[in-house]
Structure formats: C-alpha cells, structure tokens
Structure 1
C-alpha cells in the first residue's frame, strides 16, 4: 500500500520575517479570534503533514512555547520567505516540504493533498497555489532535492518567490476560494 501524501510531507510555517508592514511585531504571535495567528495556522496545517517546523529568526523564546522545532534562516539580512523555505528543505526528514506563512489562517484544508496530486500528475518537484488567476507561491510544496538550487538563487541575490518557482519548473494548482489565501498585513486587519 502506498504511503499517504501527508506521511511524505514536512510542513514549515514561515514566521522569520521582519513584519515591516505590521510595525515590526512578531506576526505569528498577534491575536486573531482570541488566539495567536500561529495557533490557527498550526491547527490548519498539522493534519496535512507528518511533522511541523517553525521558521523564526527573532522572538525565539516566545515561539518556543508552541512546542515545534525552531529553524532559522541560513542567510543573513532576512532575505524573505525563500530563506525560510530553504531552512525547511535543509531540516526536513521527509522528501517533500510544504510552506505556508504564519499570517494566513484560512488556507485550504486540502492544500497539501491537492499540491501533491498535481506534482505526481505532472512529474514536477514543486507546486504552488493559485486562485482566480492570482499566484500564491509562498503556499508551496517542494522536493527537498531543490535545496541547493534555492541556496544558489538566494546567494545570487534572488528574492522573488514566483521567479524562483518558475525557474524550478513549478506547476500551479487552482483553488476556488481566493479568500482562503488572504493574509494579515497590519494590526488593524486583525481586528476584523
């Protein structure tokens, strides 16, 4: 019997950025609907993967309270979400890594299975979400063997997630609800 997709996946939650648009606060620790944003993301992602990792570069003591292994960027100066994905690819014990940001608590409950199915159908090593024609490449399923390619891209100064996905031959997967990929960029957004 073939392994379920979730048994082959490590989830990495990206919380390693500077949250400039949110005034520099630790985004994942901000409260939404009575709980930290990160708690919502963990709850949504955990059933979809075999194990979870948390990419953080600051406030490690506060994030440690969530009980997840903490991984930091290998690149200085906070080069963005790709550095968090790279950290996940290097730390994963499974062949596949699914990245999601810490500020999008409503992503699809079938994100992993749909991205994995597309990869298997197309024979690619990377897939990302799309909704109503808009790409959401931070919601990305990637094979661990792309870690060196991603490290090279980052070392050359590359920072654009979509550009790297395209260079890596990514397949996009359409999802019906664009609101599922909405993220919180300001403290006022959290008050909804």
Structure 2
C-alpha cells in the first residue's frame, strides 16, 4: 500500500483587520485565547504547519513557523498562498484562514482523497452555498503560478479557475466554515461555544 503523501497546513493571517479597527484578527482573543490558537488546535491530518502573517511575527511564531508574503505591498490572500507554496517542504499544501476557529477535522483528508482520486493539482471547498476559496489543497509546484497571479493582482477565485481547481462539496460541514470578522462575531461565537 502506497504511503499517504505529506501535507503542510498554512494558516493565512495576513489580513488588515479593517472590521476590527485595524487590529490583528488572528491575535484577537476568543474565549480568552488568541484566535490563531483555536485554528492551530483544530487542524488535523497534516504533517507540518506554517502561519503566513505580515505583522506580529514574534507573537505568531509561538504557535508555528511563521513566514511573510514575498511582496512588500498587500496583494491579498493569493500572495500568502504563493509564499506558503514556496516555503512548503511537502508535496501538498493545505490553506485555511485564521478567522475560522472550527474547520472540519477531516478537511485535509477529504481534500487529499479528492485530489488523488481525480489527479487534480488543486481542490477547493464548496460549503453547499458557495466556494470557500481560502480552504483549499494545492500541489506545491503551483508556487510560481500563484506568485505570478498575485503579482498581476488576480484574485484567489479567478486563479483557482485558471488552474482548473476542483470543488469538493462540504455541505455536511457548512457551518464550520463561518468566519469571524467583527467584535460581535467574536462575542456570538464564544456564546455559541458555551451553549454547545
């Protein structure tokens, strides 16, 4: 039986936090713990972990190896994906955003199974309502393609279409892709967690 190929997970934490007054979303407390800590604890089925962040590297490096986008100016999450692909030491890269504290435990396994079954270089989550472009699995060889698309200011969705990424239905886990953007989102999530 062939060994399962290794996966590196990259948590994308490079956002500007505009709806949080410019504060770094990944370091905002959720139930008394930085949001990034929830994401790190939730990631399963991977062999290595990276965080892509453009500020507060010392704080993030407490949780995992931390890298920055290759570009000085902000070019959005695709620049983070390109940087993570370039830094990836495994055949596959799983990406997920720092603002989603409860990603499915089987996220990596299901995406990898889809990729291997269909010989796909990229697979992206569809939550039953729409594509979730930051939850995706890529072959690391896509680093140059991602970097070129980011330099051209292409969005993640458009780049995924251009490389023929497959969508995988996660409608059974749709609620687990909810992200936290505002202070009220943090309060509401903490309240739901206490009830649940």
TM-score under structure 1 length normalisation: 0.93
Q: Unpaired segments of 5 or more residues in structure 2?
A: 189-196
8 Å Cα contact 2:27/2:36 also seen in 1: yes
User: How does 1:1-192 map onto structure 2 within 5 Å?
Assistant: 1-5=1-5, 8-45=6-43, 47-66=44-63, 68-158=64-154, 160-175=155-170, 176-192=172-188
CA distance in 1, matches of 2:134, 2:176: 13
8 Å Cα contact 2:9/2:49 also seen in 1: yes
Q: Unpaired segments of 5 or more residues in structure 1?
A: none
| Deviation of the 1:34 alpha carbon | 2.5
CA distance in 1, matches of 2:8, 2:62: 20
CA distance in 1, matches of 2:147, 2:61: 26
CA distance in 2, matches of 1:20, 1:138: 18
| Deviation of the 1:50 alpha carbon | 0.3
Matched pairs, number: 187
CA distance in 1, matches of 2:78, 2:17: 15
TM-score under structure 2 length normalisation: 0.91
